[in-house]
Amino acid sequence: MDKNKKILIAGAGIGGLAAAACLLQEGYDVEVYEQASELGEIGAGIQTSAPAVKVLHHLGLAKQMSDVSVKPQAFEFKLFDTGEVLHKVPLANTHEESHGAPYYHIHRSDIHKILADRVLELNPKSVFLNAQAIGFEETDDKVYLNLADGRKIEGDILIGADGIKSAIRDQIVGVTPPDFTGQVAWRATVSVDKLPKDFMGKIVAIWCGPKKHAVVYYLRSGELLNFVGCVENDKWQNESWTVKADWQELKDDFAGWNEEIQIIIDNIEKDQCYRWAMNNRKPIDNWRSDRAVVMGDAAHPTLPYMASGAVMAIEDAAVLMRSINASDDVTDALDMFQRNRMERTARIVIESTEHGDLYHLSNREEFEAGFGKKNIAKERAEWLYSYDPLTVDLI
């Protein structure tokens, strides 16, 4: 496509910034409109697998990523009370050798900053803050992004990267009400210097128990421990990443769990426990109008059980860049993007939902029954991590 085309992006989250960096690097004229008053990210850790890390390397960010990330040795599934290791999936060198890029743990604010710095390096004037998208209009040859303050921004393509409550998706698809899963996620971090020496290996520990599970891993070159506790609780329905809840409720939720979990919870700052109600949204099969398209959580919000939400958003950025490069026609390019991303993202969304149930169990027998039917290591190697958004054939 003609590099003079102006591409508007609503939302400067991980997905919007990854798309902006990919497109700016190709030479397009890109403007990002973010509702927040400053660029930044909240929350704790994310896991990024090879498909996303390859895109970050393509953006010249290999050193920035390795400087602040942790490379875990393995996934270890553990029983909630005894700590018995039920199953192990190697990561580290095995992941890198098999899939061509490392598996990383990284703080959300670190990856967000790495991407934001790259975008601003490519064009310091490309990001506009205090700019809330409320919808868009399109003609045969232009699209207009409407902002809450009354401004109307003209462009050739509009990318809705405005997250789980996307205004752009609402306009394209209609409002899709979420289904509450009956599960909530506790999120917190612990400074490692508060923990006993050599507290835990450099792994992703997935603690499986009745009606709940916890995921624990290191962040920030090993300075922080990230804790996510997913609990069946149908009384808390607030879908916000910024809402705190009472530490004592977290402690009570994991009463009777292994001593390692107790040590982590006891060392979490009492006023720094966040709780997020997890909603499910069925995959949608229309992501675009003629000149606007959604990506990332706006297109395929997912439960976090395959640690793939941000990974999918970064994969989207690369495939969107390639689709825009491949066609002179805006609608064809957006259609190519949707066509090439829908099946994979729907599979991840559906399997993530199934994984939640798999992790909630009481003993080794239940674990073996569930995991006997599902060979996570094999499946993930075969299709989840082997995908390369920069080279996969586009149809």
Instruction: Supply the residues annotated as catalytic.
Output: 217
Choose one: 11-19, 116-124, 151-159, 246-254; the region binding ligand FAD (CB under 6 A): 11-19
Residue 217 in contact with residue 89, Cβ under 8 Å?
A: no
Torsion angles phi and psi, residue 82, rounded to 5: -85, -20
Residue 82 or 237: the one with the smaller Cβ distance to ligand FAD is: 237
Distance CA 339, CA 147 (A): 29
Choose one: 28-36, 122-130, 247-255, 329-337; the region binding ligand FAD (CB under 6 A): 28-36
Distance CA 181, CA 292 (A): 30
Phi-psi region of 163 (alpha: psi -120 to 50; beta: other; left: phi over 0): left
Choose one: 55-63, 257-265, 282-290, 295-303; the region binding ligand FAD (CB under 6 A): 295-303
> What minimum distance in Å lies between the beta carbon of 380 and ligand FAD?
13
> What minimum distance in Å lies between the beta carbon of 369 and ligand FAD?
26
Torsion angles phi and psi, residue 303, rounded to 5: -75, 155
> What minimum distance in Å lies between the beta carbon of 342 and ligand FAD?
16
Half-sphere exposure of 57 (CA within 13 A, CB side): 16
Structure tokens that stand for 249 in this block: 């409720």
> What minimum distance in Å lies between the beta carbon of 358 and ligand FAD?
17
Choose one: 78-86, 244-252, 290-298, 373-381; the region binding ligand FAD (CB under 6 A): 290-298
Residue 249 or 366: the one with the smaller Cβ distance to ligand FAD is: 249
Residue 311 or 393: the one with the smaller Cβ distance to ligand FAD is: 311
What DSSP letter does each residue of 108-130 carry, written as one string?
HHHHHHHHHHHHHHH-TT-EE-S
| Residue 268: Cβ-neighbour burial (10 angstroms; 0-12, 13-18, 19+) | buried
Beta bridge partners of 67: none
280 near ligand FAD, judged by CB under 6 A: no
Of the candidate residues 74, 133, 206, 324, the single one contacting ligand FAD (CB under 6 A):
133
72 near ligand FAD, judged by CB under 6 A: no
Structure tokens that stand for 65 in this block: 């990523």
167 near ligand FAD, judged by CB under 6 A: yes
Of the candidate residues 110, 156, 297, 315, the single one contacting ligand FAD (CB under 6 A):
297
50 near ligand FAD, judged by CB under 6 A: no
231-243: string of b/e by CB count within 10 Å (b at 16+)?
A: bebeebeebebee
DSSP E strand boundaries for 104-257: 104-107, 127-128, 133-138, 143-147, 152-155, 157-160, 179-191, 204-209, 212-219, 224-232
Size of the site for ligand FAD (CB under 6 A): 34
Strand ranges across the sheet with 85-90: 85-90, 74-79, 204-209, 212-219, 224-232, 179-191, 274-280
- Taking residues 175 to 214 in sequence order and writing x for each that binds ligand FAD by CB under 6 A, - otherwise, the string is ----------x-x---------------------------
75 near ligand FAD, judged by CB under 6 A: no
Residue 81 or 241: the one with the smaller Cβ distance to ligand FAD is: 241
Interacting residues toward ligand FAD by CB under 6 A: 10-16, 33-36, 46-47, 132-133, 161-164, 167, 185, 187, 228, 276, 296-298, 304, 307-311, 313
